[in-house]
C-alpha cells in the first residue's frame, strides 16, 4: 500500500508531510529591480516553472524535496511563466539567460552567477552560493 500512496498521494483528507518552501511569487516586472537590489545582501533564486509540463513539475518536486537551506539565507522566487510571460521574457533579458523551462537562476551581487535547466536543477548545490 505504501508504494501506491507514494505514487498517487494520500487519501483525500490527508495533508501528508509534503515540504513547503518559502516561495515569493514573481508576478510583476517591478519586482525585478528589487531582486537585483536584494542580491547585494543575499543570493536570490528564481525558479521558472511551466504549469503544463510534467517534466517541470517533476523537477520542481525534486528541487523542493532536496532543498535544505536555512531560512533567511536565500530568497526564493517562483515564476509561473505561462501566467506571467512578460515577466519571464524580462527575466531572460535582464539576467542575460536564454529562456528555458524549467529553469533556475542564482542572482548575486546584481548579476546572474549561475543558471541551469531541466534535470540539472536537482543537482545544484545552493550552499556554494551563500
**Residue 65 exposure: Cα atoms within 13 Å on the Cβ side:** 8
Per-residue confidence band for 18, with pLDDT thresholds at 50, 70 and 90: confident
Q: Which helix (H) or strand (E) holds 117?
A: strand 111-117
The pTM for the full model equals: 0.85
Q: What percent of the chain has pLDDT over 90?
A: 82
Q: What is the pLDDT of residues 25-54, one digit of tens each?
A: 999 999 999 999 999 999 999 999 999 999
**pLDDT at residue 88 greater than cutoff 80:** yes
- Name the average pLDDT for the chain: 89
Q: Do residues 72 and 81 make contact, with C-beta atoms less than 8 angstroms apart?
A: no
Tell me the H-state helices in the chain. Answer: 2-8, 31-38, 54-66, 85-94
Average pLDDT for 48-73? 94
Q: How many CB atoms lie within 10 A of CB 80?
A: 17
Per-residue confidence band for 16, with pLDDT thresholds at 50, 70 and 90: low
What gap in Å lies between CA 95 and CA 92, rounded to an integer? Answer: 6
What gap in Å lies between CA 69 and CA 51, rounded to an integer? Answer: 25
Amino acid at each position: 500500500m505504501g508504494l501506491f500512496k507514494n505514487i498517487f498521494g494520500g487519501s483525500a483528507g490527508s495533508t501528508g508531510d509534503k515540504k513547503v518552501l518559502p516561495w515569493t511569487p514573481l508576478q510583476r516586472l517591478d519586482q525585478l529591480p528589487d531582486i537585483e537590489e536584494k542580491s547585494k545582501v543575499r543570493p536570490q533564486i528564481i525558479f521558472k516553472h511551466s504549469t503544463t509540463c510534467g517534466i517541470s513539475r517533476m523537477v520542481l518536486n525534486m528541487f523542493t524535496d532536496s532543498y535544505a537551506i536555512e531560512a533567511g539565507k536565500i530568497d526564493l522566487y517562483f515564476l509561473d511563466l505561462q501566467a506571467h510571460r512578460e515577466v519571464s521574457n524580462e527575466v531572460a533579458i535582464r539576467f542575460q539567460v536564454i529562456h528555458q523551462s524549467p529553469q533556475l537562476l542564482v542572482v548575486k551581487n546584481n548579476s546572474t552567477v549561475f543558471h541551469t535547466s531541466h534535470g540539472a536543477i536537482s543537482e545544484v548545490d545552493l550552499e556554494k552560493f551563500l
